[in-house]
Structure 1
């Protein structure tokens, strides 16, 4: 489906006669996603300790990301660590405003950490939160795993990305529903207790601002959706069969004559007041391209769900559930942000799906091997049977 989507996007670009360099911009998230898929597949297909290996790698990145983010906030806006070159193409140094309904604090802002923009930090914090919190929510975990889960939640609060917390909560809730665990209430109460303890040790002003900001993420969700895409019909009527071209509304397209969707469409009375990934996809590739993209995402969700139902072990269920919940979250998040045009999110999505595919083959290989051993055990001539079914001595 993604191949057909790219083809439709290239046809749109050819018809609209936009700069051919936009193809590279549009293909980049998908191409990097496929590379990530291969990595995830091979790790979970061939490594017996795949979970431990992935947790170690992402755990190191989690510590680095949150450490730099905290250092940036502590250093202040004017510190060199919070400055970007003038030609970076990012306003306000990529930082964001940590405002809320009860006001804001002069020293508090949304940092960028290792990224070029605070929005990317916020979106990536959701991936790390889901990666570390999902196993803790569904299976018995070690103290180290629980600590990493708590740190990933703290990163979301540091990033100030409200949608990250909203969709993490919804994902964990869906995970509880799918797993049917009876320990749901206990784990939720434990998490609330941990957050309450954190709230006690910080100042009341900081607590009020942070709490107000993230609570508004639940309260104002529908209003944000209407604000970002309330005039969707203008784009749909303008781009019916084909769009403006693959990559035209993606991040980095300005270098090749592209633009943000809401700025470009404002000249026609559309675009809304902000970002909407679905409108951007439809604007680039038309209704056909949008339909193909939805079908591709639906395939990921459907395939992952079937694997969840077939999984015999809890740890396998976690691996298969992650891409399903991540994709569902991105679909909802896309109504208020450009998520599928962000290569970081596509890398995360395809890694999780690749890991699920690799684990599915790994589990099937285990089953096949067990069956072959049973056949060997029933054979009157062990040596002959081993030669027939291809068993080597290393499996003895």
Structure 2
């Protein structure tokens, strides 16, 4: 019995050593289990982070694709607008060419109108010659006496009438000068108008000289009286010449002046009409030219903006494509990592489950054996049986 007890004690010592070793193994397994749990948790966190990154990437990719589609739509719309603006610019250029042709035709009409003023210039030249003849003719009337005084009185009356008519002619010349100034402002730089201006100044000078001569008639009465005897023989011829001058030359000059004035007025009206049409055409051409310039500037700015936009969009598209390729590669890596993580998680879960089951079974058995050993009332056969069962359970675990 004592020997059996010693053997039992020895077996108990071995059992206790085995239990201590089992507890150490259990502690080691618990530490490894905790480490495995931490690794599994970290793997799960990385997997969650990868899933979130994948979700964010998919949303970003969708937005980028939508943006690329919008950019392509805008580029197509800009190209369509550029084509329409090109057509409109071509139309405006055609209209501008038509306006230039119209302006050339109106310029030709204005030149024709200036040529029609040529008879007025000729009438002025003829009037100048007649005025010179009149001045020479009046120098012949240098007699005095009863007949000469009578003639002087008639001459004074005639001179008064001539003064009135010359005043009228001066007014008409002033009006003609104003009209010529207006015509020169319309067609500025035309040689015929310049020549007419010179002749007009010469005619004005001659008219002033004629007025001075008429004023000098009354002052030279005494000299007329002294030359009375010399000019008595010439009175009849002078009277006939004066009558001829009155009946033919002066009347013809006045008629020609009136006709020239009428022609000048008509030419002035026509020139004013042509000037208004020319100014209107020039304003219209300038407005069209300005519109065309603005449209061309807008079209050029739009084309430059489209080129810059296309260049920027092309660069952005290339960057986006590179980013998409990079994201696709990362996505593949994330999918592989997710697959590996899921496999690792499943293996860890299986390992944890198996480890938990084995550890729980071992702890239950060890606690049961410890409780049985602490009681010395347990029969030896039962202890040996339990040891066998415990050893078999450890082997299974």
TM-score class, shorter? under 0.3
Instruction: Answer 1 or 2: which has greater helix percent.
Output: 2
State the structure with more CA Rg. Answer: 2
**Taking structure 2 as the reference length, what is the TM-score of the superposition?**
0.18
**Taking structure 1 as the reference length, what is the TM-score of the superposition?**
0.18
